[in-house]
């Protein structure tokens, strides 16, 4: 059996994989060109598989994506194949939820504003910022990360309103839960609207001018999932004309965010460079998910985090 990995693996990690399957070959090929050369006899791929690599991988049975987002994998040949696709969902729950509240607190307590003043040695307290208790946290996408964001919101004393595409029982840390057909209820109520849905054909541009128009003029949008879920042109217009008060953004339609993008210069926007999921802990947890899945794969058992390739999540 052969694992082809575009994720750089430590010697100890390779050793742990080899204890699961005798005679296992593990090849690390970070570049696409190198991966193409090694793909023909690979049974398992670890990473975000490029299309040229997949087309050469005639024996491939399983792809373990390193990360939660899988939108780059849905080229026709993979979607129509019998190859199983999984991700490392669950590894990023806490760090992304932490980063979400870093953005919210940067806005609610004016941290971004004061950091700018710090570089200029300006001592100025004239702006009034507010507490989170009593505010409404709206969450679009109540998956694993969404639930951790909701838990933190409840701990801050916020009312939590959420919408999700899946039918589920309302968690105790969520005050109101709707289906996506009623997402307008969340938009109307939210003081902070967190968007954390996967990028699919259905979610691309789902937060546009009409949706932003349903929000309070005092509300802030937090996009922590995927940039193209929010119509960026509509968002910039909404931020300019006061449709909403501001935004905290970790993801964008084009990344890196181009220097000419107007979002850079907006005082009512807090920006981070798509690093909400980055932490040493997420790297370690992602490998542990892969390791456990490989153990199940060798034993012929169902895998964790299997993606529905037709629905793309």
Q: How far is CA 260 from each of CA 263, 264, 265, rounded to the nearest angstrom? A: 9, 8, 9
DSSP for 91-108 reads SSHHHHHHHHHHHHHHHH
Q: Which residues pair with 270 in a beta bridge?
A: 248
Residues 6+ apart with CB under 8 A from 139: 146, 149, 150, 153, 160, 161, 162, 163, 174, 186, 193, 194, 196
Q: How far is Cα 216 from Cα 140, in angstroms, rounded to an integer?
A: 16
Q: How far is Cα 109 from Cα 304, in angstroms, rounded to an integer?
A: 40
192 three-state secondary structure? strand
Both tokens assigned to 245? 């008060």
Specify whether 109 is catalytic.
Answer: no
CA triple 299-286-90, angle to 5 deg: 95
Q: Which of 13, 226, 232, 253 is catalytic?
A: 226
Q: How far is Cα 120 from Cα 178, in angstroms, rounded to an integer?
A: 46
User: Of the candidates 246, 124, 129, 259, which has an alpha carbon nearest to the alpha carbon of residue 190?
Assistant: 246
Specify whether 274 is catalytic.
Answer: yes
Which residue, chain included where needed, has tokens 């919210």? 104
Specify whether 255 is catalytic.
Answer: yes
User: Of the candidates 235, 265, 250, 201, which has an alpha carbon nearest to the alpha carbon of residue 97?
Assistant: 250
Q: Which of 204, 274, 295, 304 is catalytic?
A: 274
CB-facing half-sphere around the CA of 234: CA atoms within 13 A: 16
CB-facing half-sphere around the CA of 115: CA atoms within 13 A: 8
282 three-state secondary structure? helix
Q: Which residues pair with 215 in a beta bridge?
A: none
Cite the active site residues.
Answer: 226, 255, 274
């Amino acid at each position: 059996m052969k694992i082809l990995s575009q994720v750089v693996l430590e010697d100890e990690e390779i050793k742990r994989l080899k204890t699961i399957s005798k005679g296992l070959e593990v090849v690390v090929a970070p570049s696409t060109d190198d991966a193409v050369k090694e793909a023909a006899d690979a049974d398992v791929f670890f990473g975000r598989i490029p299309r040229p690599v997949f087309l050469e991988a005639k024996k491939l049975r399983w792809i373990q994506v390193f990360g939660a987002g899988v939108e780059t994998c849905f080229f026709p040949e993979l979607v129509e194949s019998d190859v199983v696709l999984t991700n490392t969902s669950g590894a990023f729950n806490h760090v992304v939820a932490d980063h979400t509240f870093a953005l919210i607190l940067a806005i609610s307590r004016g941290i971004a504003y004061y950091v700018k003043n710090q570089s200029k040695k300006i001592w100025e307290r004239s702006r009034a910022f507010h507490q989170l208790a009593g505010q409404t946290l709206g969450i679009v996408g109540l998956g694993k990360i969404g639930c951790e964001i909701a838990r933190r919101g409840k701990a801050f004393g916020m009312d939590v309103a959420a919408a999700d595409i899946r039918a589920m029982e309302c968690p105790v840390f969520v005050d109101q839960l709707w289906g996506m057909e009623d997402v307008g209820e969340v938009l109307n109520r939210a003081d902070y609207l967190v968007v954390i849905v996967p990028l699919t054909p259905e979610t691309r541009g789902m937060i546009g001018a009409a949706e932003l128009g349903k929000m309070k003029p005092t509300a802030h949008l937090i996009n922590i999932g995927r940039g193209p879920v929010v119509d960026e042109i509509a968002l910039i217009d909404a931020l300019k004309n006061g449709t909403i008060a501001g935004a905290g953004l970790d993801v964008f339609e084009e990344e890196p965010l181009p220097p000419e993008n107007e979002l850079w210069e907006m005082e009512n926007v807090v920006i981070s460079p798509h690093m909400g999921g980055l932490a040493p802990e997420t790297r370690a947890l992602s490998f542990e998910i892969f390791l456990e899945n490989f153990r199940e794969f060798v034993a012929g058992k169902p895998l964790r985090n299997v993606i529905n390739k037709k629905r793309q999540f």
